[in-house]
Amino acid sequence: MTPFEAIAEPSRRAILDLLREGEQPAGSIVSAVGMSQPGVSKQLKLLREAGLVSMRADGQRRLYRLEPGGLADLEAWLLPYRRFWARRLTALDDHLEREQ
Amino acid sequence: MTPFEAIAEPSRRAILDLLREGEQPAGSIVSAVGMSQPGVSKQLKLLREAGLVSMRADGQRRLYRLEPGGLADLEAWLLPYRRFWARRLTALDDHLEREQ
DNA sequence: GAGTTATATTTCTTTTGCGCTATATAATTG
DNA sequence: CAATTATATAGCGCAAAAGAAATATAACTC
């Protein structure tokens, strides 16, 4: 699963948002998002496959956290769009200036 | 369809990437991405519903272009993650400095 | 107005993905 | 070691989405 597909699903975005607060055991995530335990477990697996989160074992618990750089591909894809819009705004500014 | 879902599909990202070169008639998009004409038409409709592109008629042709700000929601969602990682890097820097 | 071009819509089949329940695994406690 | 807790996996039903073919619509040309 690509990061693009991973963030398409609201429940996965909710999990990621939650993990911004810091590392959390799977159980806390289940409590936070209103979803069944197996459902959360499945989404966590997909998020791991997408490289957006990582896991470590702590006894019987599994601690999940955001993977730094997991959204790098997404950021990289977005970059030229930011440039595109910046150019458009510049062009608009120029246009408005010429009209004055 | 949300922008998050819209960019999940590779063919739709290809269309968006293509439109960064400027406004294009539907036919050019069909030629560029290797997909059937109805398929492209369907994806263009979804991209419009997501607010990522807009269309104007020019005779019998339909000209599509990127909608500025269409990815704003996505950018807004990403913002706190950039802050999150910036903090992490700062914390790492601090740590390394203390070790010196 | 008949034929042609450009695009959209409909319809169908197939695949994918979500969320659930039930079950398995693995660590912990008594 | 039996019972409990934490998490993962398997299997299922269903809804959504993708891709293709066929058809419709609308504009243009002669």
Cβ of A80 less than 7 A from strand C = no
pLDDT at A47 over 80: yes
Closest CA to A24 of A60, A68, A70, A55: A55
pLDDT at B48 over 90: yes
> Best of B1, B2, B5, B47 to disrupt the A interface by mutation (most A CBs within 10 Å)?
B5
Closest CA to B29 of B63, B6, B71, B56: B63
What pLDDT is attached to residue B22?
A: 95
Residues of B in contact with A80 (CB under 8 A): 17, 20
Confidence of residue A98 (pLDDT cuts 50, 70, 90): low
pLDDT tens string A48-78: 999 999 999 999 999 999 999 999 999 999 9
pLDDT at A83 over 80: yes
What pLDDT is attached to residue B96?
A: 66
What percent of chain B is predicted at pLDDT more than 70?
Answer: 91
What percent of chain B is predicted at pLDDT more than 90?
Answer: 80
| Beta carbons of A71 and B77 less than 8 Å apart | no
